Each structure stands twice: as structure tokens, then as C-alpha cells.
């Protein structure tokens, strides 16, 4: 018995939409949006999609019409009653009513703003311009759409059983990683893989596998929709976007620029407490960030290490806490850059006894298809969606890895001077 | 949208039946049944299920009530109109109307006869007694039921994702074997794995994977139901059962016994020609079989090598054909014992240029879950269903591997004397 009605209903879809919900996004995006709502409701910001992997010719792989259909579909989405109820009522990190009614009213009425799409050679130029709080919402859905359209393009060549074997191998690979994670004492790990996932269904599968394989050691997912459906905690704090835009808004005044990254945290702690008070030091270079950080930042709950050598980044944070009389064993370090099982095992062996460690596992959880498709066509690649300007001023990210730096060269030079960044070791960016 | 009607319908099943069709059986069973129908319509034969793997305690793993339910369900089956049409109308090996109308009438009215089930320690004693043509039909469904109930018993302990990974690994394993098979020039291989399959659905999956992976190099399946559904050729010729029963029916007269294995082939060639004329020499020991075989048997299409060292068995057949002035390159050898990818590669390298080679791949195609379940609980094991007596006289199989011999010791000794069987090398029986 086929469900004939289901089949007929399915036939009515013009496309198979990739992003089907306003909250199929990272939790930190909503947390940041609330802070923007409070502090910069009128700032105008431009975001742009950047493919750091030239060897993946997105515009040859993905049809422009299909891409537009997917982006247009996102613009039809609205927060549903159930999603709103879940956001309003849920407990995050033990705190109820994290989102205040005014912000929820805004979110309920939110529609994704227009996008600008142009083909440039083998790449697409995709930009989002408008009020910061609107344009910022595009980041995760735009990345997820590009990633999944690329997945679909590559998978179109495969036969039914080749597809089954592809997924069988990918599932086996994840499970073997999970079995190795089971051996790590005191593990706390969560899914940060929404943005560069292979596909929505695959992210959902990976999350379920983590639930069964790790139980309470799996703390949750950054994807709000999956957190809601799978009855998990939504995980996340803040991202580079905040200091990048704050710095750009500081204008040409070097002194104002130097203070901007700390102003972000001042604003943030008015909205959030506890586990949400995690500093992200690498936007302007971690060493300089900690060197000039005011005392009160040492009271925060922890730090997220998102570029450069992760062990070195953690040591810098630990030294900062010790310098300010804080016990590192009471602090949380979240590793979230380029994690895979080997790296996690190595970091865990080194830091598990010295700080509270957790892992925000991204691309190599939700998109590890390396070596599984013809010509390695599904290998993850480095696609980002970054703030490029705010109120007409360019946005800059230095990062602890110069390869990941974004912004015009002269502004990067100025930031390096203002934030006292010296030589940085370049590391290959895989994902 | 769930199909509510489907769910309600599913709830009405008391059991999940393992064997759901009269033709969910090996093709050779129907071919043999037609010969029995012509030549021994009234002989009474007893079949018995024998677990050669003592370390698999079937009676502890499988609930007796569940086993009875499955066997009782088989007794409710009847040939359907579509199955009858397919058998009557289909072409097998290029010959149409292989089954004559009288036999088809019998098959349409056939019901599985009673069974006798008793528990003996950790094993079941399951026997089928009656007219040969009825009792013989139990072999494949009885084996498939025991195998699949054991599978279910072991899988009951696993979580949802553990199950997914188990199948992901098994699928990957099969696919890697298929990829290696793709490299063999002139390959002809078919599925002989119904009897000891992991489950019906799994056999069906393996067959579909072989279709996609090997195309025309995959010649078909011995399972009639799957052949019908997947639009494949049904493959098979004859089995040990025929000479075993013919020998028992020969009575105490040694001269009659000595002729019985050849009488089988005389009867067989009245019904079948071409690719169905494949001798199975090992029932009474291959060396003796060929040494005493009448000249006309060298005209047959080929031989099936089903026990002992397969290369040695093939050499014995080749020597027989040469002795009788036949060109071995015109003859077909079907290897069907304990095959796996390594063995197939080795045999192919040695024989592909010397004879027409094909492979009847059984247990390690449809049941290779070695090492995949806790305590290796899904490793294949050696379960057989054999004729044990005919008209009150014991049935004997010598085989080319003494470990696989069946029958009372004194009768085995007599057969060895009559058929001139000397020393035989014992080989471990894996499946």
C-alpha cells in the first residue's frame, strides 16, 4: 500500500526545499540577533558569501535558477506558532525566557530580506545588504543551501546502490568516530555542523546517532530546528560577526577600535549569563585580545578556540585566567575549529584534567564524505558567509590563522597595528 | 502524512512472516520436484534439519512458539495466480514451458505437509515425513525460517542506530566484494544464498546490489520469488537429494546401489537439456563417480563442484572430459561450495581460461555478518536440511569432505566400499 495522497501531495512541490524553517539556523544567530536588536537596531551591514576553496567551481556545479528557487523559498518562511512557543518557553542552559517578548515579536514578523546574486567566473557572488538584524539571518541558510545544492549536483551521477553504499560508508565512519568518543572520560560534545552540512537530513541523522551513541555526553546541537524536533538543548554563544561589526562601526578612531571587541562583551553580558558568557578571542588575534582585556572578562565562564593551533589557543586562555587569579579548572574551553576525532582525542588528553573542556564539532561531523564520491567530489570545502561592511566601513577579521583573515589589506594592517598582532603561523584551512 | 490505513493493516498481523510465498525457494527444488513427480510419485521420504554448528544453541535463541507460528504460516501458503503464470510462461535457460501442465496443476494445489518439531537440549529436531514430492518442499523455507529467527533473536538487543550501522557495514562489505568481482574478466556469477540467508529482505538487497554492480555478469538468482520480482533468470539444476534418495531406494542390492547415481541422470535428461544438464558428482565421492560414469555423461553440459578442495574437484572433472575426448573449454564448471571473494578470485585465475566457469555464491553473499554483531552472534553457521530416509532405508551422502558426510556409520562404510572411496581429506566446514 502506497500512500497515494502523499505521492500526489509530493508532486505539487516545485522544488525540494533545503531550508524549511526560520529556526533551521544556529542558535547563536538568534542570541546575537537579540543583542543587535537591543544595541544596534538600525545599523546597516552587508554580508557576503565567500568560497575559500577555488577548486570547487560552485557556479559550474549549481544551476543559478535552482539556487534562486532555494533562496526565494527561504524568503517565504515565517516563524511558526510551534517554533515561537518552543523559543519562548524552552530552558537554555538552565535559564528560562532567554528571549524577551519584544524580540520574539520581532522574530515572529521577520522575513528574510532580498539577496543579490551574480555569477563571477566559476563562482557566485551572493550578498545580503540591509539592517544588520535582517541581513545577518541569511548566514546559515545561505551556506546550507550552497552546500546541499553542491551535494545534490555530485550525487546526481550515482546509481541507487552506489548511493546506498555511499551513505553506508559515511554512517559507518561516523559511528566509528562515536565509538572512539565513547572512550573519552568526562566528554562533553555538541553538534556545530549546520552551516556546512552535507544536507539537512544528514545532519539530523548525525545528531540522532550522537544521541544514541553518547547519551548525556552529547550536550546538544546548535541547530534550533533539530534541537526542537529531537528534544535536545540548543547550543551556542556568539560569533566573529559581533566584534567585526562593532569594530567597523567604531570608525577611523583607533582608540575606539581598540575598545570595540570589549564593548561587544559589555553589551552581551547585559543579555546573557552563565554558559553563554564565552569569549571568542581570535577575531582580533587571541594574544592581543587577552593582553588588553579588562579584568572583568576573566570572570566570564570560558573561551571558545576557533582558529590557529588549538592547544596554543587554550594555553593562552589558561594563562590569562591564571594571571587574573582565576582557577582554570572552573573555566570552560570550547574547541570548535577543524575538529575531527584525532584532534579531539589529542586535545582531550592534554586539557581534560586542566579545564572544563567541550567540543563544538562541525563540518567533519555533518559532512565527512572525504574519499566517498567519484573524484572526491563530496570532500568538504571552505565556504563562509561574513560581514564585509557596516555603515559603509569594511569589516575585518584577523583570526589566529592569517589564511582565515578577511577584509581589505590596508584595514588588516591597521587592525594588526591597533591590536598589536605580530607574526602569525599560517595553517592549512580544511573546513 | 503517515498512511494510517497501512499502519492499521500492519497491526493486524499476528506475526511478521518470514516465508510468504511457495516460490520463495530455490529453483532446483521445483526442477527436482518435477522429476520426482514423473519418476517416484509415491516414494515416502523423511527430511531432517541438522545443525552442524553445535556452538549455536538454536533452541535457546529461538522461541518454540515463534518457530511454530512461522512454520504454520508456511502451511497456509498456496501458489498464487501470478506465480503460476510466471512459472508456466517464463523462459529458463532459453527453453520455454519447462514445467509441464500436469506438474503445474500439482503445484497449484500443493500445500506444505505437516512437520514434527521437538526440542532436544539446545537444539531443535525438525523433521518432515511424507510423499517425497511434498516433504522435499520444506527444505528451503525451513532453513530460511531458522536462519532468520536466529537473526531476529540476535538483533533484538541492538539499538536503532546500532542496527543502522550493522547494515551499513554489511552493505559496504558486499559492495567491496562486488567491486572486486568487477575486475574479473568474463565473470558469470549467480546468487545461491536463499537457504542460509540473513533474512529475506537482505537477500533481496544483495541481489539488487549485484544487478547494479555487475550488470549482465550477474546471471540470476536461485530464489524464484526474487527472480520473478527483480526480472531475473532463475538459476539452478539438481542437488544431492536426488542421488541420496535414489540410492536408498535401491535397497540392499550393491549392484543396484552402484547404478543409482547414474539412474538419476538418465531420468533427469528426459526432463531437461542444455544448461540444466550439470552433474553433481560428490554425493558418492567425485573420484568414484567419474571413474565409473558411463560415456554419455561426458556429453553433459558441465559439473557442479560442491565439496572438497574445489580446484581438485574441477581438475577431476576436466580429466574426465579429456578422457572421453571432450574439450573442457566447451564445458561449464559451477563452483558452489563455501565461496567468498578470495576463493572466487583464486579459482577464476586458475580456471577461467580452461573451462566455462561460473559461481553459485551462497552464504557469504547473503549472510556475511561476520564480526558485525556482539559476540559475533550473526556469524553464519552450518545448518542443513537433508533426506534422512526413503521407504524406511537410510539416506547417505559421502561428499568429498568427510566432515560433510551424513548417514549411519555402517551405511557410510557400505557406500564407500560400493563406490570405491578411499582416503578423503577433511576440510573445515564454515558454511
Q: What is the pLDDT of residue B109?
A: 97
Asked if the structure places residue A138 within a domain, the reply is: yes
- Asked whether this complex has an ipTM greater than 0.90, the answer is no
Looking at the complex, report in whole angstroms how far the Cα of residue A93 sits from the nearest Cα belonging to chain B: 27
Chain B residues whose CB is inside 8 A of the A175 CB are 161, 165, 168
Mean pLDDT of chain A: 94
Q: Are B354 and B329 in contact (CB under 8 A)?
A: yes
Would the pLDDT of A1 be above 60?
Answer: no
Residues B105 and B170 in one domain: no
CA B275 centroid distance within chain: 17
Q: What is the pLDDT of residue B300?
A: 97
Q: What is the number of structural domains in chain A?
A: 2
Question: Cβ B172–A164 below 8 Å, yes or no?
Answer: no
Helix or strand run (H / E) with residue B127? strand B123-131
Q: Which of B9, B159, B164 sits opposite A1 (nearest CB)?
A: B9
Domain final position from A115, A139, A156: A156
Asked if the structure places residue A343 within a domain, the reply is: yes
Q: Which of A160, A167, A212 sits opposite B160 (nearest CB)?
A: A212
Contacts from A145-148 at CB under 8 Å and sequence distance 24+?
A: A145/A18, A145/A19, A145/A67, A145/A70, A145/A71, A145/A74, A146/A49, A146/A58, A146/A62, A146/A67, A146/A383, A147/A195, A147/A196, A147/A197, A147/A198, A147/A199, A147/A367, A147/A383, A148/A18, A148/A197, A148/A198, A148/A199, A148/A200
Q: What is the pLDDT of residue A318?
A: 98
- pLDDT tens-digit readout, A339-358: 999 999 999 999 999 999 99
Closest chain A residue by Cα to residue B1: A6
Looking at the complex, report in whole angstroms how far the Cα of residue B245 sits from the nearest Cα belonging to chain A: 43
Closest chain A residue by Cα to residue B212: A161
Residues A88 and A179 in one domain: no
More confident: A169 or A9: A169
Q: What is the pLDDT of residue B275?
A: 86
Which residues of B lie closer than 8 Å to A, measured between beta carbons? 1-3, 5-6, 9, 159-162, 164-165, 167-169, 171-172, 175, 208-209, 212-213
Range in A3-12, B295-304, B324-333, B373-382 with the lowest mean pLDDT: A3-12
| Phi/psi of residue B423, nearest 5 degrees | -65, 140
Which residues are bridge partners to B128 per DSSP? B47
Q: What is the pLDDT of residue A263?
A: 97
Q: Among all chains, which residue has been given the C-alpha cell 539452478?
A: B236
Chain A residues whose CB is inside 8 A of the B9 CB are 1
If we measure between CA atoms, which residue out of B336, B310, B237 comes closest to residue B279? B237
Q: Which of A9, A161, A162 sits opposite B1 (nearest CB)?
A: A9
Question: Cβ B172–A167 below 8 Å, yes or no?
Answer: no
Would the pLDDT of A93 be above 90?
Answer: no
Q: What is the pLDDT of residue B258?
A: 97
Asked if the structure places residue A191 within a domain, the reply is: yes
Domain final position from A333, A366, A399: A366
More confident: A311 or B160: A311
Q: What is the mean pLDDT of residues A360-375?
A: 96
Residues A93 and A190 in one domain: no
Q: What is the pLDDT of residue A374?
A: 93
Looking at the complex, report in whole angstroms how far the Cα of residue A178 sits from the nearest Cα belonging to chain B: 11
Residues B210 and B344 in one domain: yes
Q: What is the pLDDT of residue B398?
A: 95
Chain A residues whose CB is inside 8 A of the B209 CB are 161, 164-165
Chain B residues whose CB is inside 8 A of the A172 CB are 165, 168-169, 172
Q: Which of A9, A160, A212 sits opposite B212 (nearest CB)?
A: A160
Question: Cβ B165–A171 below 8 Å, yes or no?
Answer: yes
Q: What is the mean pLDDT of residues B396-423?
A: 94
Asked if the structure places residue B99 within a domain, the reply is: yes
Q: What is the pLDDT of residue A281?
A: 96
Q: What is the pLDDT of residue B94?
A: 61
Residues A176 and A139 in one domain: no
Q: What is the pLDDT of residue A9?
A: 74
Residues A137 and A166 in one domain: no
- pLDDT tens-digit readout, B107-134: 999 999 999 999 999 999 999 999 999 9
Would the pLDDT of B400 be above 80?
Answer: yes
Residues A46 and A64 in one domain: yes
Question: Cβ B161–A175 below 8 Å, yes or no?
Answer: yes
pLDDT > 70: percent of chain B: 97
Q: What is the mean pLDDT of residues B301-315?
A: 96
Question: Cβ B169–A172 below 8 Å, yes or no?
Answer: yes
At B2, the pLDDT band (50, 70, 90 cuts) reads low
Asked if the structure places residue A373 within a domain, the reply is: no
Domain final position from A126, A156, A186: A156
Residues A79 and A168 in one domain: no
Chain B residues whose CB is inside 8 A of the A209 CB are 161, 164
Q: Quick one: cell of B268?
A: 533427469
Q: Which domain holds residue B356?
A: 163-237+270-366
Q: What is the pLDDT of residue A325?
A: 97
Q: What is the pLDDT of residue A268?
A: 96
Give the number of other Cβ atoms within 10 Å of residue A301's Cβ. 18
Residues A125 and A142 in one domain: yes
Residues A148 and A174 in one domain: no
Would the pLDDT of A5 be above 90?
Answer: no
At A12, the pLDDT band (50, 70, 90 cuts) reads confident
Asked if the structure places residue A37 within a domain, the reply is: yes
Q: In chain A, how long is the greatest CA-to-CA distance?
A: 71
Residues A104 and A194 in one domain: no
Q: Which of A159, A169, A209 sits opposite B172 (nearest CB)?
A: A169
Residues A199 and A294 in one domain: yes
Q: What is the mean pLDDT of residues B164-180?
A: 95
Q: What is the mean pLDDT of residues B263-277?
A: 93
Q: What is the pLDDT of residue B1?
A: 53
Chain B residues whose CB is inside 8 A of the A159 CB are 212
A189-191 and A356-361 as β-strands: parallel, antiparallel, unpaired? parallel
- Which of B161, B175, B205 has the highest number of chain A CBs within 10 A, making it the mutation to test binding with A? B161
Q: Which of A6, A161, A175 sits opposite B1 (nearest CB)?
A: A6
Asked if the structure places residue A399 within a domain, the reply is: no
Q: What is the mean pLDDT of residues A332-339?
A: 96
Q: What is the pLDDT of residue B236?
A: 92
Question: Cβ A208–B175 below 8 Å, yes or no?
Answer: no
Q: What is the CATH number of the domain that holds B133?
A: 3.20.140.10
Asked if the structure places residue B372 within a domain, the reply is: no
Would the pLDDT of A170 be above 80?
Answer: yes
Amino acid at each position: 500500500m502506497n500512500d497515494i495522497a502523499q505521492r500526489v501531495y509530493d508532486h505539487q512541490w516545485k522544488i525540494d526545499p533545503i531550508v524549511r524553517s526560520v529556526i533551521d539556523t544556529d542558535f547563536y544567530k538568534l542570541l546575537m540577533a537579540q543583542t543587535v536588536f537591543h544595541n544596534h537596531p538600525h545599523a546597516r551591514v552587508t554580508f557576503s558569501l565567500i568560497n575559500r576553496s577555488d577548486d570547487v567551481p560552485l557556479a559550474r556545479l549549481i544551476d543559478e535558477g535552482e539556487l534562486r528557487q532555494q533562496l526565494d523559498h527561504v524568503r517565504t518562511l515565517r516563524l511558526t506558532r510551534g517554533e515561537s512557543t518552543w523559543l519562548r518557553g524552552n530552558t537554555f542552559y538552565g535559564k528560562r525566557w532567554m528571549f524577551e517578548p519584544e524580540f520574539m515579536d520581532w522574530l515572529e514578523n521577520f522575513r528574510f530580506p532580498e539577496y543579490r546574486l551574480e555569477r563571477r567566473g566559476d563562482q557566485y557572488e551572493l550578498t545580503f545588504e540591509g539592517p544588520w538584524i535582517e541581513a545577518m539571518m541569511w548566514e546559515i541558510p545561505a551556506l546550507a543551501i550552497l552546500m546541499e545544492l553542491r551535494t545534490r549536483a555530485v550525487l546526481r551521477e550515482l546509481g541507487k546502490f552506489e548511493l546506498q553504499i555511499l551513505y553506508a560508508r559515511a554512517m559507518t565512519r561516523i559511528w566509528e568516530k562515536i565509538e572512539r568518543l565513547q572512550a573519552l572520560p568526562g566528554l562533553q560534545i555538541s553538534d556545530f555542523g549546520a552551516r556546512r552540512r552535507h544536507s539537512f537530513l544528514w545532519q539530523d541523522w548525525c545528531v540522532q546517532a550522537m544521541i544514541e551513541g553518547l547519551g548525556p555526553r552529547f550536550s546538544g546541537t546548535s541547530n534550533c530546528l533539530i534541537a526542537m524536533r529531537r528534544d535536545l538543548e540548543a547550543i551556542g554563544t556568539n560569533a566573529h560577526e559581533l566584534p567585526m561589526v562593532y569594530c567597523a562601526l567604531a570608525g577611523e578612531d583607533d582608540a575606539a577600535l581598540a575598545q570595540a571587541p570589549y564593548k561587544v562583551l559589555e553589551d552581551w553580558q547585559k543579555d546573557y549569563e552563565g554558559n553563554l558568557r564565552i569569549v571568542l578571542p581570535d577575531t582580533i588575534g587571541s594574544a592581543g585580545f587577552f593582553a588588553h582585556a579588562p579584568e572583568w572578562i576573566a570572570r566570564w565562564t570560558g573561551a571558545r578556540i576557533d582558529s590557529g593551533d588549538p592547544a596554543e589557543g587554550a594555553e593562552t586562555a589558561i594563562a590569562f585566567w591564571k594571571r587574573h587569579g582565576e582557577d582554570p579548572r572552573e573555566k570552560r574551553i570550547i574547541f570548535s575549529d577543524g575538529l575531527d576525532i584525532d584532534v579531539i582525542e589529542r586535545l582531550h588528553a592534554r586539557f581534560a584534567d586542566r579545564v572544563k573542556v567541550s567540543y563544538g564539532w562541525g563540518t567533519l561531523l555533518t559532512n565527512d564524505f572525504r574519499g566517498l564520491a567519484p573524484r572526491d567530489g563530496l570532500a568538504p570545502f571552505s565556504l563562509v558567509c561574513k560581514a564585509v561592511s557596516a555603515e559603509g566601513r569594511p569589516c575585518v577579521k584577523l583570526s589566529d590563522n592569517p589564511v582565515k583573515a578577511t577584509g581589505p589589506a590596508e584595514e588588516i594592517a591597521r587592525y594588526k597595528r591597533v591590536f598589536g598582532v605580530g607574526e602569525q603561523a599560517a595553517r592549512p584551512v580544511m573546513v
